[in-house]
Structure 1
């Protein structure tokens, strides 16, 4: 029985909106570099992030049947060769990873459990790592990431028992940053040691791209993992910024990248989602953003071309679907998909019913990524499903 618990999208976003710090909350980059480089091999792994949380309502809860069909689509229609399986709940994580492996996809398994005691988080890492090792020994292609941005999710690094309390303390300046970074380094070493003890393949971690805020000792890991949300007008500027992560002499994986679905979203970097008023019931879009699936698609293509040019190890678009941010074409004020990084749009059968069933439909970003991945796709084993 899976007894783990997670952090809801509303909790995370409502708390994080108060403080523009790291990872998915970084502001857009500013730079003006020239020049670039063209690699020969391109990306080694092209993927998408697939979150397996419990959902905020019964209608958005994880479903094994839905997951199996999504994984099929990701392989056969999106032409991804990698599935970044993330979220909380060991049962959900391992079932999804097993499905991806059975279909011949490269698996990037990353448990992200938060707001529970440190011991439970380490136990979750160990259990998922043991499963990843079983998949690897059975012949699957697997990378294991011990987690994501521990400063936010793990109690005891930043003061506060919950995400909301931790971001509140960060906002108010009630944090000794030197002490925070020492605690972060201590827990990261523990997590890496647990990962190494159970998994004998490539080990990684998904860090915020602000190295001053979240410095990571990448000697602990085999693959450098960065959640990347910068915006530049020129591709050479991305190249210049990303080069600094190569100084460790290790493969670089972009563990998240993407943008929201409105004009100007890429310029907002990782803060693009912050156009929702979470205090309203139901939640409402703030201001008058103009929906633009084309803007989202163009940004993803631009970033993928940069990653290909640099021959990076992996890039995982964030994310496949965000069930808790449904598209409302009938009500732009409640079209939460505007603030979603998802490459598909979730549509409820009954928009005003929180428990309503739903389906997803592809956005322009889905088709754009599918074209990019399809052009470079290597034939993959089709698994037992055919």
Structure 2
């Protein structure tokens, strides 16, 4: 496999774990110290992450028609009120954000462009930010995030030409951590400045949950955003961990949370994807894992209950669909959906054909979230 080709967001996400890390809007500047609105203990925005991209194969390439149908399903079947639009390609990002806004969803727009020059990443932030501002001025409910885990995506912060090169250098200890943090702080401040210059609503960023590894000056932003993949046996463990992020006196958004659908996946956290042997063709599941959609659903339900109890600003389940990790009910050894954090399963008409048409079907986690999202919406 080429080092820069075919790396899904779930694989990017796992980089954090690989290096030892466990992932009506108030006007900007009016954050509350508890991370929730006064007098309320209820999650404000409940949603899902929707990744746009060029696609790894002809069969999984981005489609405007498919996107529109997915956004409809996210609103009408999942009962989400928020769509976290992320990935690369300004046209794909803005088209998806516009569709979400048109359907009345709260939009969390987050460009995630990696392995290109810094100036291109900043230009992408500016373009998406300007579009988010247009949506906001037209009356849409919009948050804008300038990006995700810059240390992983942006060249020049950690040595390495590609994401996998940077992860490799971190694993091998070939990184001056003090210099890395200075470079990260510099770029984060630059990205925040670009975002502020074009977008005048709530600004955020999605950071890895290890603050020692990725310290963020949250004074630059209106909303604290965390990609959260912890595992605790008791809810109190999550509450204790998350309370630390409220010290900034700003709303807290869980920009990603989730797990894979097999026994033991929650304990693996952000490394849940690491069960595939990519050296083999076709790619093969390692070991004898037990598929369990119930495990995925139960973990996500437990976390959502914690987020609700703390009255956090937003929580976005990761993720809606992973077309590059199709489900193979006929052959568990090649069931790449086991390595997916998706709440739906992608099923190809012709499993061995890269260009095969495909569709998604809901997993148990989809139904679990849908029931909770619908119940919460009805109670508001």
Partner of 2:36: none
Distance 1:361 1:276, change over 3 A: same
Q: CA deviation at 1:171?
A: 1.5
- Establish whether residue 27 from structure 1 lines up as the match of residue 35 from structure 2: no
| Structure 2: gaps of 5 or more residues | 24-38
TM-score, scaled to structure 2:
0.92
Counterparts of 1:254 and 1:19, CA distance in 2: 17
Partner of 1:279: 279
Find runs of 4+ consecutive structure 1 residues off by over 6 angstroms.
Answer: none
- Establish whether residue 370 from structure 1 lines up as the match of residue 365 from structure 2: no
Partner of 1:341: 341
Task: Look up the SS of the partner of 2:255 in the other structure.
Answer: strand
Q: Which range is displaced more, 160-169 or 193-202? A: 160-169
Partner of 2:137: 137
Q: CA deviation at 1:14?
A: 8.9
Q: How does 1:58-97 map to 2 (within 5 A)?
A: 58-97=58-97
Distance 1:100 1:141, change over 3 A: same
Q: How does 1:102-251 map to 2 (within 5 A)?
A: 102-251=102-251
Q: CA deviation at 1:17?
A: 6.6
Counterparts of 2:7 and 2:324, CA distance in 1: 7
Q: CA deviation at 1:10?
A: 5.8
Counterparts of 1:273 and 1:362, CA distance in 2: 19
Counterparts of 2:198 and 2:5, CA distance in 1: 26
Q: CA deviation at 1:270?
A: 1.0
Counterparts of 2:189 and 2:310, CA distance in 1: 29
Counterparts of 1:287 and 1:13, CA distance in 2: 19
Q: Which range is displaced more, 370-379 or 233-242? A: 370-379
Partner of 1:9: 7
Q: Deviations over 1:225-269 (max 9, x none)?
A: 000000111111100000000000000000000000100100111
Task: Look up the SS of the partner of 2:270 in the other structure.
Answer: helix
Counterparts of 2:12 and 2:67, CA distance in 1: 27
Tell me the number of residue pairs that the alignment of Structure 1 and Structure 2 aligns: 362
Q: Deviations over 1:155-191 (max 9, x none)?
A: 0000111112111111111100000000000000000
Partner of 1:309: 309
TM-score, scaled to structure 1:
0.91
Counterparts of 2:138 and 2:249, CA distance in 1: 29
